[in-house]
Structures are given as structure tokens and as C-alpha cells.
A and B are shown apart, each in its own frame.
Chain A
């Protein structure tokens, strides 16, 4: 069958050699190589469920009086956007399932991408000749963050409106151009006009997903060009790739993974409630709710906005740097700047300009692992600071004391964690022990004579 298919394509395109090479493409085996694939399948589910949602969603901030299926909101002034989200949740067949699966898929998408970036960082997979793949990947992470935020902002419920108020303030806080930029994007002062909703909508359902799709293709093609990297093993060398070919092996595995990811996402969407917008109510700029938490992947930004003390340097009649700039613009710029610069930085520091097809174990590069652990501890601390209010509610630890502790800890713990990680790597390198299972012992082999050698 596959032979007939290839022949069919070959007689029409003359590309049998290319197809053969693709079918023979070899995938090395390691669980951590699947993180990127999980992200890929999340994206597929996002596009699929997203298309379904566009059939019913109406991106308009026009005011209507709600008379839908959810009685507690009867008679309330709501936007067309909010009404359509309620209606597609309560009236459309499979609407709530699709909406919740879409939301869950976005959350899992970003978990997978984040873990994937960590894997790539700590194994040195970004090194020559794979820098381009890495840059495109980091760019996709940034786009995915924006896409997720745009998505839950569209519902025009109280939480999403509060998120947009913060986004507006962050744009407004950009020195010099912020004011005009925010007015241009929102088409007037916050909460903006209905044009803003059309813009947000077209960005969410067309511009950003297409950009992610294009970058995803470049990402995958550039992986094929350079081959997968692999861990050192008894057969794996710099100049070969050991693993399972696409045909007749890996294709079925990866499709299986794809179906499994889809199944889990739909189970989550069907069984576990997420973002019940009818409980938050419609947005109005004069309303807000306590304990408001955004989707998990924005935790690092809310943490940064909360941790920065009230600095707002002024000169004459000008506020040079409005406060929201520090946490909302500078912090993410530093984080993404560091991610983008790291491959060049590492080359500069180590002077290593060679090709690397074999991956490092984290311990093989104690310095990189140390710096990475320090850096991600820093981002992680800021992330956890973003949930201090939940910790206060659950554990009754004073919010203000938590913030004061975090304000010191974000500058101390990264160095401590990085130093410990580096020392641990050096120790593991000497002992060659498994980090969790401990010393593995040597290999014992039975000789022909029945003894052990």
C-alpha cells in the first residue's frame, strides 16, 4: 500500500528520493524528546476546538441585556462577546466541552513548551548547528503566551477585563510612547471601543495562530535538516543517529501519542471545570474581585508586578518610568532576552564553536546547569510570589510578610540554587551515579567459561 502511494506521488512529483529519506528519518528514543511533540498535538487540538468556537463566538463589546439559560445573570447588561460565550457554553451542543478543552489545551500547551525549553536548555540541544531551531522555539513560546492571554481576554468576563486593564496599564507604562501606543491599540482610553475587540479577536484566531503555524513548520523542518540530537550511548556517536525510523516504526508511536494527548485534553475538558465565566460576571472597569488569578502561565508576570516596590522615578512634570513597566515590560524582556542570547553567550564564554549532535547530560556542563538552575529559580520565585494571596487565604501567612521575604529571596535563592546545582553536577560527574537512583554499580558480564568478568 505504502509502495503504491509512494509510486503515485513519485510519478506526479518526481520526489521519491525525498519521500524515501523522510520515511527513513530516524527518531532517537528518550522520553524527554516527546515534550515538543506533546506541544505540537496540543496545538492541533487548539486549532480544532478553536475553529468550532469561532462558529458561535461573537467578538463585539456592544451592550445587550442577558436573557439566556443562566438565570442568575438575567436582566444584566452584558457585552455581546460575553453573552455569546455563555450561550455557546449552555446552549450549543458540545460547546462547553469544546470551550473547556480549548482552555485546558492552552494550559497544557504552555506546560509542554516550558518543559521542552528546559529540556533543550539543560541538555545543550541549542548548540551549533541547532541555534535557529532554538530561536524559533523561544519565539513560539512568546507567541503562545500572548495567544493564551488574548484568548481568555476575549470572553469579556470580570477576570478577563481585569487582565486587560493590567495589559493596558503595562502598555501605557512604556516610557515616552506608551500613552499613544495604548490609545492606538484600544482605539481610545480603556476599556476601549468595539474596534479593540475586533483587533483582539483577529489576532487570536488568525494572526498569532498562523504565525505559530509558520514558525512550527520552520521549527520542524529545521529539526529534519539537522537531525534530532541524541544522548551519548554505547552506539550513539557524533556522526550517527540511533533510533526508530519514521516508517514503519515511529509514525505509529507518534500518532499514538497524538491520540493520547487529544484524549487526555478532552477528558480534562469534559470532567474538570475551567474558567466558569458565568461565576465571574460581566466586566465593568469599576468592578474587581479578590483572589483573582490568571492562567498559570501568566503567574510570573503577575508575580513581577506585585513584587516591585512603588518605584516611579519622576523628572519635572514627567513620570519617566511608570511602575507597571518594571514587572510588565522589563522583567519579561530580561527573561526572553536571556533565552535568546544564551547560545551566543555560551559560545563566547566557552569558546566552543564546534558542532554538537550528542547532547550533554545536565551534569556534563556544570556551569551551564548552575547558571540555568539559578536563572529558572529566579523566574520561578517570581512566579510563586504571584500566588502569595492564595497562600494567605489557604495558610494564613501574612501577605505583606510574604512579599517582603520574596523581595529578598529572589535575589538570594537563585545564587544558592545555582551553586548547589553546580556542585551536585561536579559530584555526579565524578561518581557517575544516577541523580535519583544513586550509584548504579558496574556492568557484570558472564564469560564463556561460566565465570564473571
Chain B
């Protein structure tokens, strides 16, 4: 497992990510510190929403400090990188913020903890609980909420 409590989120070059550089409506790729980037479970997509827009399940309270959400970057449908973030900037907001995979357009709702809202994916995008440490850097607050990567026979959410 690439993620356990306390592991730092770093950027492409290995520099720790700080909570205050994640702006609302932005999308930032991140990796597990000290883990091979080619591992499927190493890559994250970090987004920030307004806290009042969050609709996280009750058991995930505290997973998104100041609205910062981290998800596995690997689509649960066919294993491509979920590299698109839809964030409508002006009214009317016809569609909610969403994470989208460019291969088959599986669309996940970050506000609701990665729930599938469109497309072929059968499982939500696994969410990583994050915490901000005393230096303002992002760390994992626990393991991922589910199995990373595409589904197989033995996968259980």
C-alpha cells in the first residue's frame, strides 16, 4: 500500500504540497512521497471546493480540511488517469464540479466522495483522507477508501 497515515503528498519533483497553494477550483496532481511514480496507487488528483458545497458521507467527516479533497488518479473503469476537472465558474451552474476520465468519460463527483455520476465506471473513485500538519503540508490521514484501479473479480468497493 502506498498510502498510510502520515505519508506526505508531494508534487512531480518530490516537493511536499502545502495546503495554502491549493486554490478553490484548482486541480493538482500529487504522488505518495518515496513511492515509485509508476505504481497505480501512488498517483493522486487533489482538488479544492468550497466547504459548504461538500456532501461527503457522514463517515468521511474531517477527510477534507478546508475543502481539500484527494482522490486516486486511476479510473475505476479501465485504468486510465483521471486528468480532467470540471469546475463551472459562472452561473448558471448547470453541472456540478466533476472529475472526468478522458478514455471513456467516467465522471465522478468530488463533493460526494468520488461517487459515479456519469459513464461506465461501476465503483466510486477511491478517496484519500488528508490532513494538514503543523507546517501546513498535506499528509494522508489514513488509507484510501477503496481499492485503486480498475475492477476485478475480487474487488470489494
Seen from chain A, the residues whose Cβ lies within 8 Å of a Cβ on chain B are: 162, 165-166, 168-170, 172-173, 175-179, 182, 189-191, 284-292, 302, 305-312, 317-320, 322-324, 327-328, 389, 399-400, 403
Tell whether B43 is near chain A: CB-to-CB under 8 Å. yes
Q: Which of B31, B77, B153, B155 contacts A286 (CB 8 A)?
A: B31
Q: Which of B105, B120, B149 contacts A399 (CB 8 A)?
A: B105
Q: How many residues of B contact A (CB 8 A)?
A: 39
Contact of A319 with B155 in the complex, beta carbons under 8 Å: yes
Contact of A178 with B40 in the complex, beta carbons under 8 Å: no
Q: Which of A165, A286, A317, A389 contacts B78 (CB 8 A)?
A: A165
Contact of A169 with B150 in the complex, beta carbons under 8 Å: yes
Contact of B81 with A286 in the complex, beta carbons under 8 Å: yes
Contact of B150 with A287 in the complex, beta carbons under 8 Å: no
Contact of B78 with A310 in the complex, beta carbons under 8 Å: no
Q: How far apart sit A318 and B156, CA to CA, in the bound complex (Å)? A: 6
Instruction: Kindly list chain B residues whose C-beta atoms are within 8 Å of the C-beta of A168.
Output: 79, 150
Q: How far apart sit A285 and B80, CA to CA, in the bound complex (Å)? A: 7
Tell whether B57 is near chain A: CB-to-CB under 8 Å. no
7 contacts between A and B (CB under 8 A): A162-B81, A310-B121, A312-B123, A318-B154, A319-B153, A323-B151, A324-B151
B102, B105, B106, B151: most-surrounded residue (chain A CB, <10 A): B151
> How far is the CB of B34 from the nearest CB of chain A, in Å?
16
Contact of A173 with B79 in the complex, beta carbons under 8 Å: no
Instruction: Kindly list chain B residues whose C-beta atoms are within 8 Å of the C-beta of A291.
Output: 102
Contact of B121 with A323 in the complex, beta carbons under 8 Å: yes
Tell whether B14 is near chain A: CB-to-CB under 8 Å. no
Contact of A169 with B31 in the complex, beta carbons under 8 Å: no
Seen from chain B, the residues whose Cβ lies within 8 Å of a Cβ on chain A are: 29, 31, 37-40, 42-43, 73-74, 77-84, 101-106, 116, 118-123, 149-156
Contact of A322 with B153 in the complex, beta carbons under 8 Å: yes
Q: Which of A162, A320, A403 contacts B103 (CB 8 A)?
A: A162
Instruction: Kindly list chain B residues whose C-beta atoms are within 8 Å of the C-beta of A320.
Output: 153
Q: Which of B37, B73, B120 contacts A306 (CB 8 A)?
A: B120
Contact of B150 with A286 in the complex, beta carbons under 8 Å: no
Contact of A286 with B120 in the complex, beta carbons under 8 Å: no
Q: With A286-B42, A312-B122, A319-B154 given, is the CB distance from A170 to B102 under 8 Å?
A: no
Contact of B79 with A179 in the complex, beta carbons under 8 Å: no
Q: How far apart sit A385 and B43, CA to CA, in the bound complex (Å)? A: 30
Q: With A305-B120, A308-B120, A319-B156 given, is the CB distance from A173 to B105 under 8 Å?
A: no
Q: How far apart sit A311 and B106, CA to CA, in the bound complex (Å)? A: 12
Contact of A285 with B38 in the complex, beta carbons under 8 Å: yes
Q: Which of B29, B31, B37, B102 contacts A292 (CB 8 A)?
A: B102
Contact of A310 with B119 in the complex, beta carbons under 8 Å: yes
